[in-house]
Chains A and B, each alone.
Chain A
Amino acid sequence: KNEVEQSPQNLTAQEGEFITINCSYSVGISALHWLQQHPGGGIVSLFMLSSGKKKHGRLIATINIQEKHSSLHITASHPRDSAVYICAVNSGGGADGLTFGKGTHLIIQP
């Protein structure tokens, strides 16, 4: 069974700072997902990646398959980025569900 670890668990930063959230997993995967969860509970998919790097606006996600590690970066952080960021992995090739990290609670102060 895959184990997904995220760090840090909690992060408070000032507006404008560069943010990095890390994710590591124990077993080879077919894909890694970065998700965003707001206080109401709804979850939005930010990225799905199996290699390399993806960028969307101020968000960048990278993955190193050999090291079983991924990072989510936020440039020029803003208070509206405050949310829980969750890393999740597909371990199998079929549609048999995701394994999730515990999440990183990010607060960006004005």
Chain B
Amino acid sequence: DGGITQSPKYLFRKEGQNVTLSCEQNLNHDAMYWYRQDPGQGLRLIYYSQIVNDFQKGDIAEGYSVSREKKESFPLTVTSAQKNPTAFYLCASSIIGGNPHEQFFGPGTRLTVL
């Protein structure tokens, strides 16, 4: 089955530790995205990538880093510089070309920093 996988579903970390969230897709999509969701707020774009080895900052990139070494994978690292890392993180992907662009979402990872 084609889709997006995120692991783990729940993640706990101590304050000051870096943590990496996994996102893998087998949809052969060129573009991948990371969003953050906080209670009472809309999803916000952290980073996105339209091609391997290239990525762009979104609206709230500070304290986060990404890599795109393979088309299928777009891991997100939450660094100790992120002031409020506890949130729900969603990964998404889409094709490029054609307009508009439908996005497919992963199941999400809920990160709690203690």
Verify A97–B48 contact, CB threshold 8 A.
Answer: yes
A-B interface pairs (CB < 8 A), number: 69
Verify B96–A95 contact, CB threshold 8 A.
Answer: yes
Verify B43–A42 contact, CB threshold 8 A.
Answer: no
Within 8 A of B (CB), among A57-110: 86, 88, 90, 93-103
Interface size on A, residues (CB 8 A): 27
Instruction: Considering the complex, give the chain B residue whose CB is closest to the CB of A44.
Output: B105
Option from A30, A50, A95 in Cβ contact (under 8 Å) with B30: A95
Interface flags, B72-114, vs A, CB<8A=1, else 0 = 0000000000000000101000111001111111011010000
Instruction: Considering the complex, give the chain B residue whose CB is closest to the CB of A101.
Output: B42
Interface size on B, residues (CB 8 A): 30
- B45: chain A residues within 8 A (beta carbon): 97-99
Verify B100–A30 contact, CB threshold 8 A.
Answer: yes
- B42: chain A residues within 8 A (beta carbon): 4, 86, 99-103
Instruction: Considering the complex, give the chain A residue whose CB is closest to the CB of B47.
Output: A97
Instruction: Considering the complex, give the chain B residue whose CB is closest to the CB of A95.
Output: B31
